[in-house]
Structure 1
Amino acid sequence: MADNERGALFRKSVANQHSRVTYAELLFDLVFVFAVTQISHTLLGRFTPLGAIQTTLLFLSVWWVWVYTSWITNWLNPELTPVRVLLFLLMLGGLVLSTSIPKAFESRGLWFAIAYAAMQVGRTVFLLVSTPPDRTLARMNAVRILVWLLMSAMFWIAGGFAEGHWRLALWALALAIEYVSPAVRFWIPKYGASSVADWVVEGGHMAERCAGFIIIALGESIVVTGATFADLAWTTETVVAFVSAFICSLAMWWIYFHKGAEAGSEQISRSSEPGRLARLAYTYLHMPIVAGIILSAVADELVLTHPADHSDLKTVLSAIGGPLLFLIGTILFKHTIRGWLQLSHGVGIVVLAILAWFASDLSPLMLSLLTTAIMIMVAAWESISLSSGEPQSQSEATSA
C-alpha cells in the first residue's frame, strides 16, 4: 500500500465540525448489545463472590475491546472500504467473544482468549500498516500500543489453555497490563512514552461513541425487563415492578443525557488536550456508568420474578449497587468536564448508602420503588439546578 493511500484512510478534519458516527460503526455496536446481554445473564446465573469477579473481568474486557475500536475509528475513516472490512472482521470476532462469555471460565475459555487477542492485536496491526511513515507521532503510538497488546495477548492465550484459578489469574494480569498501558502512556524501551499532545482525537466523535454505548446498555436493560415481564403473570406486584424498572431506566437516561452528554461533547471539542480528556472521562470513567446500568438490569429481573419475597443479598447488592455505580461514574465524569461535583449526585449516593442499611428488611418491590425514587430525585434536582443557574455559583465556590 502506497504512503498516500495509507494516509487517505485517516479521517479528514473539518474546522468547527466533528466527525459523525458512521453507519458501519453503529452496525459494529450491535454486536455489543449481545455482549452486554450475555454479561448480565452470566452474572445473574452465578451471583457468587467468584462469579462476580469473573463477570467483572469479562465486562472490563468487553468494554476495553469496544473503546479501543472507538479510538481507532476516531482516527480512521469507516466510510472507506478497507476500514469497513476491518470493522466487519471485528464484528465476527466480537460475536465469537460474546457467545463465549457464559462459558469463558469453562469450556470456551480458549475461544474467548483467541477472539479477544485477535481483535486487539489485529486492529492495531491494521492501524500501523495504515499509518504512512511521514506521520511519525501516529506511527510511534501505533508501535507502542502494539507492543503492549502483544504482551497482554500472551497471557490471554495462556489463560485460555489454563483452568480454574490459573485462568482467572492470567487473564487478570493480561487485563491489568492493558488498563495500565494508557496511564503510563504506552511507555516502551527506545520509543519512551507518548505525550498527551500526541493523542490527537476528534472529541465530539468520541463523546458521541461513548454516549452510544450508554444507549446500548440502557436498551439491553429495557429488553431484559420487557422479556422477563412478558413471561410472567401480570399481577399488581409484577406490573408495579415493571413500571418501576422502566422509570428507573428513564431516570438514568435523563441523568446522563439531559445535560451531561452534551456538556461533555462541547468540553472535549474545545479542550486544548482532547486526548487527555478522552482517556480519563470516556475511556475510564464511563466504565462504572455502564457497569451500573448492567447491574441494575440484573436487579430488575430479580425484582420482577420475586417482587414480594424477602430481599436476599443478591437482590440488595444489585438493586443498590447498580444505581450507586451509575451515580459514582456519572459524578466523576461530570466533575471531569465541568470542574465541580454535582450536589444532586452526591446526595443520591449518600441516600443510596443509607438505604443499603435497611434494604434487607424491605421487599424487592419496595426496594425497587425506593431506588427509582432516588434516581428521579437526582434527575429532577440536577435539571432544576442547572436551569436556575445554580452550577455557576457552585463552580465559583469551588474555585474560591
Structure 2
Amino acid sequence: MTGPTRSWLLPMRARDTAEPHRVSTPLELFFDLCFVVAVAQAAAPLHHSIAEDHLLPGLRGYLMVFFAIWWAWMNFTWFASAYDTDDDVYRITTFVQIAGALVLAAGVGPAFEDNDFRVITIGYVIMRLALVAQWLRASRSDRPRRDVALRYALGVTVVQLLWILRLWAPESWPVLPVFLVLVLADIAVPIWAERAAGGPTTYHPHHIAERYGLFTIIVLGESVASATVAFRGALDEGSHYTSVLLRLAVAGLIVVFALWWLYFDRSAHALLITMRASIRWGYGHYFIFASAAAVGAGLGVAVDHATHHAEISSTLTGYAIAVPVAVYLFFVWLLHVRPHQTGPMLFAFPVAAVLALLTPLTHASLELLAVLLVLLVAINSTVGRRVPDRVG
C-alpha cells in the first residue's frame, strides 16, 4: 500500500486558532536546526572579542547579527502558525529561507572582523523575500485577511530594499544609527500590517508557545556545545587545568540547567490572548534568545581565563556570564512571571538579576552564580507555586 499523494500547491487558507494537537512540524524543527548554525556563528566571535578585550565592538556586532537571525526566525514562526499548508511549494519556499540563514551564517566572520555586512545582508534579504512570496500566496487564498497579507508583503519588500540600499551608503554614515532606523522599520511592519481590515492573523497560541520554547532549548543547547568545545580545547593543553575546568564545567552546567528550568516553569500560551500582548511577548524574546546564546560565549571566556588565554581581568570574565544571565532573568520575569505572579514572589527574579551582577566581585563568581540560580529555582518551585496565577 502507498500513502496519500502529496499536493504540489494547495490553497493557503488560515488555520484554526483552536486546532487540537497543533504541534511543531518536522519542517519547523529542521528550520530551527539550520538556524542554530547561524546562532553558533554569532556566539563564537563574541566569545573571542570579549576574551581579547574588544568588548564593545564584539557586543555591537553580536547584537546586530543576532537581530537578523531572530527576526527572520520569528517572522517565519508566526506565519507558519497561521498558514502552514505543508504543500510542495511551501516546503521549497521554506528551504530558500533556510538557505538564506546559511548565507547569513557565512557572513558573520566578515561582519565581526571587517565590519563588512554585505554577505549577512544578502542572506537576510533572501530569507525575508522568500517570506514575501508566502504572504502573496496567503493574500490570494485567505480573502478575509487579504489586506493584512498584502501589507506584510509590501512592508517587508520596502524594508528589504532599504537594507540593500544601505550597502551603498557613504562610509561617512554612522553604522549603528542607520542600522537602528532600519530595525525600527522592520519591527514596525507587523504592527502596521495586523491593523488592516480582517486582522489579526490566526496564529495558534499553543503552537507559538511551543515553537518559542523549542528555540529556547536549542539556543541553550548551543551554549552547552560552545562551552564543551572550549573545555575540550583547554584539556588538550594539559592535565594541570583539570581541577579548575571541572569546577567551571559543573557550575556552568548548573547555570544552563537552571535557566532552562526557570523558562519552562510556567506555560506561556495563556498570555497570548491579544495581538498586542503577543507582539510584546514575541519581541521581548529577542533578549531571552540573545542572552541565552551569550551565556555560552561567556563560559568560553571563563575557560580562556582559567587557562591564561584571556586578556581581561577575572572581574570582567565574571561579567561575561553574569550580564547575560541577569538579562535572561529579567526578561523571563517580564514576559513569563510578572503576568502570573502576585505578592512578594513577584520581586524574586529582579532581585536575583541584581545579585547576579554582584557575583563577579567575588573570587568564585561562576560557582556563586550557580548557587544563586539554584536558590531561585527552589524558591520559584515552592513558594512561587503557592500563589494563584493571575491568568489561566
Please tell me whether residue 83 in structure 1 is matched to residue 81 in structure 2. Answer: no
Partner of 2:156: 149
Higher relative contact order (CA 8 A, sep 6+): 2
Distance 1:374 1:151, change over 3 A: same
Separation (CA, whole Å) in 1 of partners of 2:135 and 2:124: 17
Separation (CA, whole Å) in 1 of partners of 2:249 and 2:198: 46
In structure 2, what residue type is equivalent to 1:101? V
The one-character-per-residue Cα deviations of 1:30-79 (angstroms, maximum 9, x if unpaired) are 12111111111121233422331222111112100100010111122253
Given that residues 288 and 326 in structure 1 are in contact (C-alpha distance below 8 angstroms), is that contact kept between their aligned partners in structure 2?
yes
Q: Which runs of structure 2 are paired with 1:240-259 in the superposition (5 Å)?
A: 240-257=247-264, 259=265
Separation (CA, whole Å) in 1 of partners of 2:291 and 2:17: 36
Cα offset, 1:202, TM superposition: 1.0
User: What is the TM-score when the length of structure 1 is the normalising length?
Assistant: 0.83
Aligned with residue 20 of structure 2, among 1, 17, 29: 17
Partner of 2:3: none
Distance 1:194 1:170, change over 3 A: same
Given that residues 100 and 125 in structure 2 are in contact (C-alpha distance below 8 angstroms), is that contact kept between their aligned partners in structure 1?
no
Partner of 1:346: 347
Any stretches of 5+ residues in structure 1 without a counterpart? 188-192
In structure 2, what residue type is equivalent to 1:264? A
Partner of 2:41: 38
Distance 1:337 1:124, change over 3 A: farther
Partner of 1:60: 67
Q: Secondary structure at the match of 1:17?
A: coil
Please tell me whether residue 279 in structure 1 is matched to residue 282 in structure 2. Answer: no
Cα offset, 1:155, TM superposition: 2.7
Separation (CA, whole Å) in 2 of partners of 1:66 and 1:253: 20
Cα offset, 1:21, TM superposition: 0.8
Separation (CA, whole Å) in 2 of partners of 1:336 and 1:302: 32
Please tell me whether residue 356 in structure 1 is matched to residue 344 in structure 2. Answer: no
Q: Secondary structure at the match of 1:46?
A: helix
The one-character-per-residue Cα deviations of 1:88-140 (angstroms, maximum 9, x if unpaired) are 11111110011111212637522211221221123123221343266132x21
The one-character-per-residue Cα deviations of 1:167-220 (angstroms, maximum 9, x if unpaired) are 44433221121123334x338xxxxx4379523211111111111110111110
The one-character-per-residue Cα deviations of 1:297-327 (angstroms, maximum 9, x if unpaired) are 1211111222387744642432211111111
Separation (CA, whole Å) in 2 of partners of 1:78 and 1:17: 16
Separation (CA, whole Å) in 2 of partners of 1:222 and 1:134: 42
Separation (CA, whole Å) in 2 of partners of 1:276 and 1:8: 28
Cα offset, 1:288, TM superposition: 1.6
Distance 1:289 1:133, change over 3 A: closer
Separation (CA, whole Å) in 2 of partners of 1:54 and 1:203: 33
Separation (CA, whole Å) in 2 of partners of 1:11 and 1:166: 42
User: What is the TM-score when the length of structure 2 is the normalising length?
Assistant: 0.85
Separation (CA, whole Å) in 1 of partners of 2:285 and 2:210: 12
Q: Secondary structure at the match of 1:132?
A: helix
Partner of 2:30: 27
Given that residues 48 and 301 in structure 2 are in contact (C-alpha distance below 8 angstroms), is that contact kept between their aligned partners in structure 1?
no
Given that residues 75 and 201 in structure 1 are in contact (C-alpha distance below 8 angstroms), is that contact kept between their aligned partners in structure 2?
yes
Separation (CA, whole Å) in 1 of partners of 2:17 and 2:335: 27
Given that residues 334 and 341 in structure 1 are in contact (C-alpha distance below 8 angstroms), is that contact kept between their aligned partners in structure 2?
no
| Number of aligned residue pairs | 371
Q: Secondary structure at the match of 1:243?
A: helix
Distance 1:113 1:293, change over 3 A: same
Q: Secondary structure at the match of 2:84?
A: coil
Separation (CA, whole Å) in 1 of partners of 2:246 and 2:66: 30
Of all paired residues, the percent bearing the same amino acid is 21
Coordinate RMSD, CA, aligned: 2.9
